[in-house]
Amino acid sequence: MAQQKSFSSNLGAIMAAVGSAVGLGNIWRFPYICGKYGGGAFLLVYLCFVFLLGSVLMMSEFVIGRRSQHTPIKAFQTLYPKHKAWGLVGALGIVTSFFILSQYLVISGWTTGYVWHSVSGVLSSLGTDSAAISSFFTEFSTSPWTPVLFLGVFSLIVLIVILGGVQKGIENVSKVLMPLLVLLVLVLCVRSLTLPGAGKGVEYLFSPDFSKLTGEGVLAALGQALFSLSVGMGVMIVYGSYIPAGDNIFKTAMWITGCDTLIAILSGLAIFPAVFSCGFEPTGGPGLVFLVLPNVFNSMGAASVVFASLFFLLLMVAAITSAISLLEALTAWICDHTQIRRWVGAVLFFVLTTALGVMFSMSIGSLSHIKITGLTLFDFVDRLNSIYLPPLCALGTIIFFGWVMPEEDIKDELSNHGTLRLGYYKLLRFMARYVAPLALLVVLISGIIS
């Protein structure tokens, strides 16, 4: 057994995994992707993917991690030693985590910058002038050095928490600050829903118009479901290996899926009413949250600075707990394969992902002339990270879980060696063997063709 680390309690494990799942994916990414692909219809497809695929994948990653007590590559090889090639699925996960973290740092840097600009009062000085808020965002995100500076600050914080160790660092931070974030999103919902013309936003989110749904939208919903739940990249295999032996994997996965989805929907409720009320377009793209929320805060009068600062700070914390899980997965992986010290591994991946993140960040501004297949570096890696790599890795994982890994091992692990009842097992097995792989295959192929 290479790893003896584990979270200290069931709550700790849940909170840390919720910390990984809840992040920019819910609050920054979900609203803009949902807006881009048509609102309500997208939401429905997204929910199907989350519950039919995402939760099944999460359970399978937890089982693979806890059963093997290893990180992605070795996990597959330990559970099925006959064909070491299954380790390739794990390798794909590691590569995906690496690229996702590099890109994640860019948006986290923006968030960190917005904390600074909220506290210093710059953001509130823009008032509710949508044009001024837009040009502030464009100037900020495309300027050559400012976002890079904040990106660096953010990565450094992540590194420091990682070096603090699994329990102390990840668990304690998650336990306290996640509930606070939810509270603040709720406050935002109330504010947003009471803005004039808010009803249009609610309608946009909840009344599906299927004529707006495209094949690309379906693929994007899948990508978003995987991204938001942190599955399809091996991270939950690593966290699975930290789940205490007595924990109920099914319940843990269900809690995480539920919390993550709730927060995404609440974010939608906080953003879309304001989008319509303030005259923005729901298709505004990656800047959506950074354009709309300052407007909402600045309509809150004297308290705007406090609310904006607190919100961006908590969003930053949510991003930290997600980034931690990615850096933790990479660090744990290299420690599982080499003799290097944990801190050396962490610093190594910190340096590599930060450097790549800086390039992605600059590709939005000063390096925007560099294109791969007609896309800027940032857009290119965004495609890779949302519609190609995670679904592919997810497909490998679910086929392994459904068809390759010995069934007795799965049952033994899910039931904690026969002590828990597995009333859901038949359904899970059916989903894992047929529904999930087929759906992934169809969506992947149609996405690649289109």
Q: Which residues bind ligand PHE (CB under 6 A)?
A: 20-21, 23-26, 100, 227-228, 230, 233, 235, 322, 325-326
Is the Cβ of residue 267 or residue 361 nearer to ligand PHE in the bound state? 267
Q: Give Cα 152 to chain centroid, integer Å.
A: 20
Taking CB atoms, the residue at the shortest distance from ligand PHE is 25
Of residues 126 and 161, the one with the C-beta less far from ligand PHE: 161
Candidates 89, 56, 84, 85; CA nearest to 72 is 89
Task: With beta carbons less than 8 A apart as the criterion, state whether 136 and 330 touch.
Answer: no
Q: CB 398 → ligand PHE: shortest distance, Å?
A: 17
Q: Rounded to the nearest whole angstrom, what is the least distance from the CB of residue 350 to ligand PHE in the complex?
A: 16
Q: Which is nearer to ligand PHE, 109 or 365 (CB)?
A: 109
Q: Which is nearer to ligand PHE, 218 or 235 (CB)?
A: 235
What's the closest the beta carbon of residue 317 comes to ligand PHE, in angstroms? 12
Burial letters for 258-292: b for 16+ Cβ neighbours within 10 Å, e otherwise?
Answer: ebbbebbbbbbbbbbbbbbbbebebebebbbbbbb
Phi, psi of 375 (to 5 degrees): -110, 150
Q: Quick one: CA dihedral 300, 265, 55, 237, positive or negative?
A: negative
Least Å distance between CB 227 and ligand PHE? 5
Query: CA 165, CA 160: separation in Å to the nearest integer?
Result: 9
**What are residue 376's DSSP bridge partners?**
371
Smallest distance from ligand PHE to CB 324, Å: 9
Q: Give the residue with the Cβ less far from ligand PHE, 57 or 278.
A: 57
Closer residue to ligand PHE, CB minimum distance, 235 or 313: 235
- SS3 of the chain: helix, strand, coil, percent, to 5: 80, 0, 20
Helices 249-277 and 407-414, interaxial angle, to 10°?
80
Distance CA 376, CA 251 (A): 41
Give the nearer residue to ligand PHE in terms of CB position, either 247 or 260: 260
Most distant CA pair in the chain, distance: 66
| Minimal distance, residue 293 CB to ligand PHE, in Å | 16
Nearest to 225 by CA among 449, 397, 26, 388: 26
Q: How far is the CB of 124 from ligand PHE (least distance, A)?
A: 26
Nearer to ligand PHE, 26 or 397 (CB): 26
The DSSP line for 150-207 is HHHHHHHHHHHHHHT-IIIIIIHHHHHHHHHHHHHHHHHHHHHHTSTTTHHHHHHHHS
* Rounded least distance, CB 209 to ligand PHE, Å: 26
Contacts with 52 (C-beta within 8 Å, 6 or more apart), sequence order: 431, 435, 436, 439
CB of 36 to ligand PHE, least distance (A): 17
**Closer residue to ligand PHE (CB): 232 or 282:** 232
How far is residue 285's CA from residue 445's CA, in Å, rounded to a whole number?
25
- Of 98 and 136, the one with the shorter C-beta distance to ligand PHE is 98
Instruction: Tell me whether strands 371-372 and 375-376 are parallel, antiparallel or unpaired.
Output: antiparallel
Instruction: Provide, rounded to whole angstroms, the least separation between the CB of residue 24 and ligand PHE.
Output: 4
**Is-contact 263 185, C-beta < 8 A?**
yes
